[in-house]
Amino acid sequence: MLPIPTQIIPQFSFDGSVADVRQCQIGHINDTFVVQTQSARGPRRYILQRINQRVFRQPDALMANIVQVTEFLRRKIESEGGDPQRETLTLIPTKAGSPYLVTPDGDYWRAYLFIEGARAYQQVESPEHLYQAARAFGRFLRRLDDFPAEDMHITIPDFHHTPKRFQAFVQAVDADAHNRAHEARDLIDFALARGDKTGAIVQALDAGELPLRVTHNDTKFDNVLIDDVSGEGVCVLDLDTVMPGSALYDFGDFVRTGANTAAEDEPDPARVSLSLDYFDAIVRGFLQETAGALTPRETAWLPLGAWMIIYEQGLRFLGDYLNGDVYYRIHRPRQNLDRARTQFKLVADLEEKEEAAARIVERYAARR
Ligand code: GN1
Ligand code: MG
């Protein structure tokens, strides 16, 4: 457990006096707390986060992106007649009027309004969930369609550059700095055997054959809040990696987390598979919102986007395991190894179901 940031909390413009603070265990990177306050207007909750600067090396640029994107979305949601305080994140400024706090030690903190009456799910409970959450990510992409991409900072260069991720992985295998490669031989071989397939998306982006868009880049199923009453995907969370990218990445990472029949870190590979029913629900929701905006190649390549991101995530988890668990927070030994095994099991399953996945995409694309 982390210490409660008692020095930090009074520096934000929270409404009322603090009644409770809890650490929130979700997410592999930042430190997150829920702050509850009490005022004459009633109780209120906020999310308070410390930005992990080992991962996010340009926190000012990252926050500038978030300020811009949330402002842009707020205006867009208002013009659509929606409720911006529920449909996008709202930054709570510091008492000094800044959108985030930098401490004398150089730590970066930010706070958001807590969105009530909705929650993020760790496990998929029904295809309907997936359909609604996929719509939320699709809507997010659609709403940012005319966002000026040139105004965005690249906060993590080459974040989804799969060939570079592959190179870094090969380096981790070669270095084997913690003498762990012998435990992961089968997974390493699986990964290496696919090294020649990493370039398709980045090459097409470079050649202008796929459009560069403003994308979320971390579209995990648990990064969508689902409304407790309507069941709709209300708000997309975790805007840290909003950057220029490909819609294929956003679709792909959602499939990675949403279509898996087990948890990301499932220790028993027999429980891991890529459900075509779940995949179907995701495609239906995603294309319902984005079909008008996607190019024919983007649409046709959606299954490839899923393959690429799941494979890339396997490389990243396994590389981190070999590097000694320095990037992703772990809660038990070998968790990154289990995470990697899950990803590669999904990759293998998707390779077998490639034809069926393509037919699902064609079916929903034809309806648009
Ligand atoms: C990290 O912290 P979280 O769970 O939002 C990672 C993503 C990975 C994900 C794997 C900045 O996201 O890229 O897909 O873990 N974020 C960063 O679960 O590297
Ligand atoms: Mg994230």
First to last CA, the chain: 49
| Ligand lying nearest the CA atom of residue 250 | 1
- Residue 26: predicted pLDDT: 80
What is d(CA 317, CA 134) in angstroms, rounded to the nearest whole number? 24
Domain annotation covers residue 2? no
**Spatial contact of 49 and 110, defined as CB atoms under 8 Å apart:** yes
- Indicate the residue among 116, 151, 178 that finishes a domain: 116
Instruction: Report which ligand 1 atom has the smallest distance to the Cα of 317.
Output: 10
Domain annotation covers residue 237? yes
Domain annotation covers residue 317? yes
Digit-by-digit pLDDT tens for the chain (368 residues) are 889 999 999 999 999 999 999 999 888 899 999 999 999 999 999 999 999 999 999 999 999 999 999 999 999 999 999 999 999 999 999 999 999 999 999 999 999 999 999 999 988 999 999 999 999 999 999 999 999 888 899 999 999 999 999 999 999 999 999 999 999 999 999 999 999 999 999 999 999 999 999 999 999 999 999 999 999 999 999 999 999 999 999 999 999 999 999 999 999 999 999 999 999 999 999 999 998 899 999 999 999 999 999 999 999 999 999 999 999 999 999 999 999 999 999 999 999 999 999 999 999 999 87
Same domain, 255 and 360: yes
Within 6 A (CB) of ligand 1 lie 27-29, 55, 218, 220, 238, 240-241, 264, 313
Domain annotation covers residue 3? no
Same domain, 110 and 133: no
Same domain, 97 and 137: no
- Indicate the residue among 63, 91, 116 that finishes a domain: 116
Same domain, 131 and 77: no
Nearest to 66 by CA among 160, 155, 168: 155
- Indicate the residue among 116, 151, 172 that finishes a domain: 116
In degrees and rounded to multiples of 5, residue 268 shows phi and psi of -100, 105
Query: How close is the Cα of 41 to the center of ligand 2, in Å?
Result: 32
pTM assigned to the model:
0.95
Domain annotation covers residue 1? no
- Residue 27: predicted pLDDT: 83
Question: By alpha-carbon position, which residue is closest to atom 13 of ligand 1?
Answer: 218
- Residue 148: predicted pLDDT: 87
Same domain, 291 and 177: yes
What is d(CA 228, CA 230) in angstroms, rounded to the nearest whole number? 6
Query: How close is the Cα of 16 to the center of ligand 1, in Å?
Result: 33
Same domain, 200 and 348: yes
Same domain, 178 and 280: yes
Going from the C-alpha of 292 to that of each of 103, 243, 286, 296, 297, the distances in angstroms are 45, 21, 11, 10, 13
DSSP annotation of 274 reads B
Which of 24, 25, 26, 29 should be mutated for ligand 1, with most atoms under 8 A from CB?
Answer: 29
- Residue 203: predicted pLDDT: 98
Dihedral angle sign, alpha carbons of residues 39, 45, 47, 48: positive
Domain annotation covers residue 121? no
Query: How close is the Cα of 122 to the center of ligand 1, in Å?
Result: 14
Same domain, 171 and 84: no
Instruction: Report which ligand 1 atom has the smallest distance to the Cα of 30.
Output: 2
Question: By alpha-carbon position, which residue is closest to atom 18 of ligand 1?
Answer: 28
Domain annotation covers residue 49? yes
Same domain, 247 and 221: yes
Query: How close is the Cα of 240 to the center of ligand 1, in Å?
Result: 10
Same domain, 35 and 74: yes
Same domain, 60 and 202: no
Assign residue 33 the CATH number of its domain: 3.30.200.20
| Ligand lying nearest the CA atom of residue 62 | 1
| Ligand lying nearest the CA atom of residue 238 | 2
Q: Show the domain range for 173.
A: 127-366
How many domains is the chain partitioned into structurally? 2
Same domain, 85 and 143: no
Query: How close is the Cα of 257 to the center of ligand 1, in Å?
Result: 11
Query: How close is the Cα of 27 to the center of ligand 2, in Å?
Result: 6
Assign residue 316 the CATH number of its domain: 3.90.1200.10
Query: How close is the Cα of 240 to the center of ligand 2, in Å?
Result: 6
Question: By alpha-carbon position, which residue is closest to atom 5 of ligand 1?
Answer: 27
